[in-house]
Structure 1
Amino acid sequence: MREWKTKQPGFFDVEERLARLSGLGDQLEAFSRTVDFEAFRPDLDKALAYSALAYSDGSKGGRPPFDPVLMFKILVIQTLHNLSDERTEYLINDRLSFMHFLGLGLSDRVPDAKTVWLFRERLTQAGAIEGLFNRFDMILRTAAYLPMSGQILDATLVAAPKQRNTNAEKA
């Protein structure tokens, strides 16, 4: 196992790294400036209320659900990067740019893969996911960005053996 070099973190390390990412052209930061994600809240709440898979309001106790706008932004990240639910969970924990886009700090709880899957299933069952992504694409188009088309793919990587064919065999 690799041992990580650690040093005493500075007060401004995260802010300096985020500023550097911003200077390099963080696409998610551009989305945050362009898209008012709060405008999706009424449609998300409505879809979740009509889903056959109930979205808890926390009234029965237990851990409160994640904010629907946060979860929708996770679906945007998934779509943009063609990520599986498991890979999405990992990368949200790993990447500062993802955490910043989602409004999460280093110590905040991150939705696991099952939670992301259930949220997407709720929106799908309510027939809302296509409309939400069409609206998102329209906002991007209006702001002169290339729309993402709203397709969510499972991009789990599987190791494959290398092909060592000769040129004759290829022909």
Structure 2
Amino acid sequence: MRTLIDFAVRAEYARIKALGDDLCDIGSQVDWERFRFLEPLMYKNKTSLGGRPNIDIVIMIKLLVLQRWFGLSDPELERQVADRISFRIFLGTTEAVPDFSTVWLFRERLIKSGKSKDLWKELQRQMEEKGYAVKEGSIQDATFIT
């Protein structure tokens, strides 16, 4: 069933891509594998006791990037990723994505590890190396009052 869903999402994304998708274009310029050094610091359930499966570290970092670049709260990030095909393609997955509390916990672990600044410095370094400047923004939504 996943392959059918993947096919449909990617077919729909082709229409978006034809209109222009700066997010995916920029995302493809970043070497996301360079952030894998954070994995041992973030995930410590590799014991015989097992635990909940880890979400790929690159997806978690990309979620934080989307959140920062678009000025999204944790709950709004979850909603936007569920709603926007371009966000899912940027993440590299059409699977269900983590809920907002998982993102919050990941960010807290990242901050406690002391590597949060290293992550943003590396991302900034790569962006500057490619000649990009990021202008952070926000997604506006309509509020309906009855």
| Alignment-derived partner of residue 62 in structure 2 | 73
| Alignment-derived partner of residue 125 in structure 2 | 138
The amino acid of 1:138's aligned partner reads R
State the 1:72 CA deviation.
Answer: 0.3
C-alpha RMSD of the superposition: 2.9
Mapping of residues 3-18 of structure 1, within 5 Å: 13-18=8-13
The amino acid of 1:31's aligned partner reads I
State the 1:23 CA deviation.
Answer: 2.2
Q: Would you tell me which structure has more helix in proportion to its own residues?
A: 2
Alpha-carbon distance in 2 for matches of 1:113, 1:58: 26
Percent sequence identity is: 38
SS of 2:54 mapped into structure 1:
coil
State the aligned residue count: 139
Query: Is the deviation greater in 68-77 or in 14-23?
Result: 14-23
Distance 1:63 1:12, change over 3 A: closer
SS of 1:57 mapped into structure 2:
coil
Is residue 2:87 matched to residue 1:98? yes
The amino acid of 2:57's aligned partner reads P
Superposition TM-score, scaled by structure 1 size: 0.69
Alpha-carbon distance in 1 for matches of 2:45, 2:14: 37
State the 1:147 CA deviation.
Answer: 3.4
Mapping of residues 132-171 of structure 1, within 5 Å: 132-147=119-134
Moved over 6 A (4+): none
State the 1:30 CA deviation.
Answer: 1.2
Structure 1, unaligned stretches of length 5 or more? 1-8, 49-53, 162-171
Larger Rg: 1
Query: Is the deviation greater in 26-35 or in 128-137?
Result: 26-35
